Structure 1
Amino acid sequence: MSTNESTQTGALWSPATLGRIALPHRVAMAPMTRSRATSAGLVTDLTRTYYSQRASLAMLITEGTQPSEDGQGYLATPGIHNAEQAEAWSRVADAVHEAGSTLVIQLMHVGRVSHVSNTSHGRTPLAPSAIAARGDMFTATGAQPMSTPREMTEADIAQTVSDFRRAARLAVDAGADGVELHGANGYLLQQFTSSNANRRTDLYGGDMAGRIRFPLEVAGAVAEEIGADRVGYRISPGSPLGDIEETDAAELYAALIAGLAPLGLAYLHVVHLGDEALLRSIRASWPTGLVLNRAGADVVQRADDVHDGLADVISVGSLALANPDLLARIRSGAAMNKPDRATLYGGAEHGYTDYPLLAA
């Protein structure tokens, strides 16, 4: 590494600890859906290659993985709700560990961001309220408006909490170092906290305490099942993805974090979209590790976030997708491959495991 490069990114190279997950440096891979699982929700040998190629990163957070059949919204996304799926993930975990990194499986229940034809059981999506998200979902027959969901009963809610708990157990028993709960990007956990997606009047809706109740129950159950120090939680304050409106983001995330903090989770993963005051407030009130994904920022700016104390670890998405040797490129100041957007979702090796290395 050149002297200048060392000065610019030096904050990234010290070890860090997130709960029980020990990291040799502070650059992690962000979760990214790639839609290359089988129709049975199984990751494959190609998945194993993809993650092990990127094992110079300190922690690999996987693509969103459904904790139940009801949790699937997209075609060809993986699951971890049965033994066969867990066995497939175990081979990925073994390969990542052998290559020297750690694996955290992201548990993603999409809720209403779905189309009925994309699930194996053809069931109406579940959501806090029977309000369809605006927008289209890609299906086997092309883009279609997202399905109107069924409002979850309290029995559905209890079952979904159990589904998350069981998926977390399957994940760590398969060799994952932890799980991340996807409370961002407009999916089920965020749907409950959002006033435009959650119009309930029972214990799981209405005031702020009601809207955060379900996410806190999920986080509490998963922490109890596998240990809080193996659990992360991802948020995206202010993101409109999934037709989410957060007009009360400052109050909402203050309440959510106040509820999550006593659990002692390994980390909070923040997708930062520009509200610096809110980010600093979250940093000040969060008691354990903070992983920061500053969308669109270069590596130097992300290193500054660690240097300035805004983040303990940074996560990178498209940079890691297109550069399996990202750490070598950062250290040497080499040019970065650019992601091929046409191959982000679906397909085989092209745009997945065939990005060129510096040595090539």
Structure 2
Amino acid sequence: SDKYKNLSIRKGNTLGTCHVVEDILGEGAFGVVAKCRNTETQKSVAVKVNKGEEGVLQQAIYEIAVLKRMQCLDHDICNIVQWDGFFFDKENICITFELLDMSLRGYMEEQDRFFTIGELKPILHQLATALASLHSIGITHMDLKPDNIMVVDRSHQPLKVKLIDFGLARPVSALHQGEFVGTRVYRAPEMLLGVPFDESVDMWALGLVMAELAMGCCMYPGNSHYDMVRYIVETQGQPPDDLLDNGDQKMFISLIKSMLNLDASNRITAQQVLDHEFFAASIPQSPSRDAGTQLTHIDNQQHGSFNVQHPVPFRFLVLNRVHMVDKSLLFQQCHCFFI
């Protein structure tokens, strides 16, 4: 296929020294996944062939680091795909995994029906076991969806499933506020809103996966972050105040409400703003501090420790800088001030 020309992968090719390509199982931005036969062991395996591009190469290195950290887990008991190591094919990093039957997405499409509660129960138990195991060693998957859940053998009931694709997985300690990771329609509201998040984003995704299995369709099929937040609010109500309003954030929102009071006679004065407790802890160093300095400050925090909370007034700048954010989300957040 022309899609794989950049990687020069075709049936019959040998990757590395002993992996003969038998089929192309899938593709992604990273490269391709091929079914290969190891000529030394005569076993068929799945090989994830990562492009030799700088960003993809770095992501592959991160994935291998996560996989090494996961070696303390029993892959069968924890319902996680077995990793069999890695090798190089020219400039491409190839990661080897056990070969499984088909993705849960493919199984859903093949069955073309709703799953019964009896079928859902063991799937939920297995996936919860997988996530509990990952979280116990401080790893967040970050991209849970039916495409990244494999059915071990579709002919066996109840279904045995395993979690795959750790390309976006990372230590909980490395999660960064304002970062957008994973597939949009499975992202948790705290990630969509750009506020701090943790491994519980995996549980949100798990809830959506189970709802999709039960209903036969995606629960929040948003085409933008704004759509996603709107669907969530329409079905589940407004996010809790403490999701957005904590510490300085709460005072900052209170100040905005006071400045935007429709009754001009009750609108806060400039002096009252200056006297507000919002400024009690830290007075701005200089009124001439420009936006460039503020963005540099945010960049330093994004690439450094997140123990220091960055100034809330610049939170929107963080969101606006990330090209994946739909601009209308800013208006959604402003709307939240008046709820």
Q: TM-score range by the shorter chain?
A: under 0.3
Structure with larger RCO (C-alpha < 8 A, sep 6+) = 1
Larger Rg: 2
The TM-score with structure 2 as length reference comes to 0.25
